[in-house]
Amino acid sequence: MSAAFPFCDLATPGVQGLRPYEPGKPLSELEREYGVRDAIKLASNENPLGPSPAALEAARGTLGEIARYPDGNGFELKRAIANRYNVDIRGITPGNGSNDVLEIIARAFLLPGLEAVFSQHAFAVYPIVTQAIGATARVVRAHDGSRGPRYGHDLDGMAATITDKTRVVFIANPNNPTGTWLKRDELEAFLERVPRRVVVVLDEAYVEYVTEAEYPDSIPWLARFPNLILTRTFSKAYGLAGLRVGFALSHPELTDILNRVRQPFNVNILALAAASVALTDRAHLEASLKLNQTGMQQWIEATAELGLEYIPSVGNFLCVDVGRLAAPVYEALLREGVIVRPVANYGLPNHLRITLGLAQENRRAIAALRKVLV
């Protein structure tokens, strides 16, 4: 067959216009392409402490069973989640990372001719899953700083964008890549305004890192708002990114809908075991959060020293304005053996998103940034 055959024409219209998700550059790729050794990666918001030792041991304990399919219902993980958050086990949907759950939601509720609403600068998966289905994305301009935190979600604007065609609203709290967040009262008022026929997805991938008093405890809202879905992940604070495991919490009837399109055995046997135990290791989680707070202070002090602005963040990352196009700075950092994340694809061409690492990793990255900005 000719290499000029228009394969893209075979794809659905939504897929034809998609660009693949751009992950952070792996260490192995950097070393292969640039010949760099002993590089550090602060690009993908991973936990620098890694997973709980108890979770690792639980995963190892399943190795002898990998010839078998995992529990397709994920009962033990669902029971652990139900016990940890005091929720109805019938309202839990396990996912191959929370990305998987977001795609399940899109497949369950969106169609060509229907719409999804989300904010400018929000997580890149929202437009991907919306467009892949053939639905229409309604992107609401983020706050400019005059009525709310700059770069943050404009909930009034999002509410005003909802029409009869809207079926899903995606809200990231905290948001990736900006680290901005929504307060309890404003988010609760928004939920009260949204018609019950519209599914509101509250993406809380970074919830464990948040310490602000006005940040909402969203789980009790599940009883009040039957159209609400909460999504969470074990990839960030729990350090299980490589195992790909997340979950959704929702009304049992919504969960039933999600399970109709959830792929069989979508969470592997190692992930089910490790995540179930990770939830119980509070000491490891607390150590991870303490390290994150220390790292955030390191980077805030460094930006002041370097004369750089940043977007205030409650996650495990900081989005730093380097005062120029960030792509050349990113490339220069790669040559110094430091991987961060350019976010021009989020509409932030002058920013780099920097994951908070170990103290020595932060020091090295700060020194490299100081060098390449000269």
Q: Which of 246, 280, 314 is the last residue of a domain?
A: 280
In this structure, is residue 127 part of a structural domain? yes
3-state secondary structure of 341: strand
CATH number at residue 312: 3.90.1150.10
Helix 359-372 vs helix 326-335: angle between axes, to the nearest 10 degrees? Answer: 120
The residues, ordered by sequence, that sit 6+ positions from 220 with a Cβ below 8 Å of its Cβ are: none
DSSP run (H or E) holding 76: helix 75-85
Q: Kindly report, residue by residue over 61-84, the tens digit of the pLDDT.
A: 999 999 999 999 999 999 999 999
Q: Edge-to-edge, what's the strand order for the sheet holding 199-203?
A: 92-95, 246-250, 228-233, 199-203, 166-172, 115-119, 136-140
Q: Which of 199, 180, 223, 212 is nearest to 351 (CA)?
A: 180
Q: 354 and 274 in one domain?
A: no
Q: How many domains does the chain have?
A: 2
| Per-residue CA distances from 151 to 95, 127, 171, 176, 260 (Å) | 29, 18, 13, 11, 36
Residues 363 and 220 in one domain: no
Distance CA 92, CA 74 (A): 10
Residues 88, 211, single domain; the answer is yes
Residue at a domain's end among 280, 302, 331: 280
Q: Are residues 287 and 153 in the same domain?
A: no
Q: Which domain holds residue 269?
A: 53-280
Same domain, 361 and 240: no
Instruction: Give the Cα separation of 47 and 26 in Å (integer).
Output: 15
CA distances from 57 to 54, 148, 284 (A): 5, 45, 14
Do 300 and 287 lie in one domain? The reply is yes
Question: In this structure, what are the phi and psi dihedrals at residue 252, rounded to the nearest 5 degrees?
Answer: -55, -30
**How much is the pTM?**
0.94
Pair 23, 172 in one domain: no
Q: What are the angstrom distances between the C-alpha of 240 and each of 59, 96, 194, 273, 326?
A: 11, 11, 34, 11, 29
287 and 276, same domain (yes or no)? no
Is 233 in the same domain as 352?
no
Which residues of the chain are under the pLDDT cut of 70?
1-3
Whether cis (ω within 30° of 0) applies to the bond prior to 177 is: yes
Q: Looking at residue 9, what is its pLDDT?
A: 80
Burial of 245-283, coded b for 16+ CB within 10 Å and e otherwise, reads: bbbbbbbeebbebbeeebeeebbbbbbbbbbbbbbbbee
Counted residue by residue, the chain has a size of 374
Question: Is residue 331 domain-resident?
Answer: yes
Last residue of some domain: 255, 280, 305?
A: 280
- Contact call for residues 43 and 368 (beta carbons, < 8 A): no
Distance CA 249, CA 294 (A): 31
223 shares its domain with 346 = no
The first and second tokens of residue 373, run together, are 């900005």
CATH number (domain holding residue 57): 3.40.640.10
257 and 363 together in one domain = no
> Is 46:355 a contact under the CB 8 Å cutoff?
yes
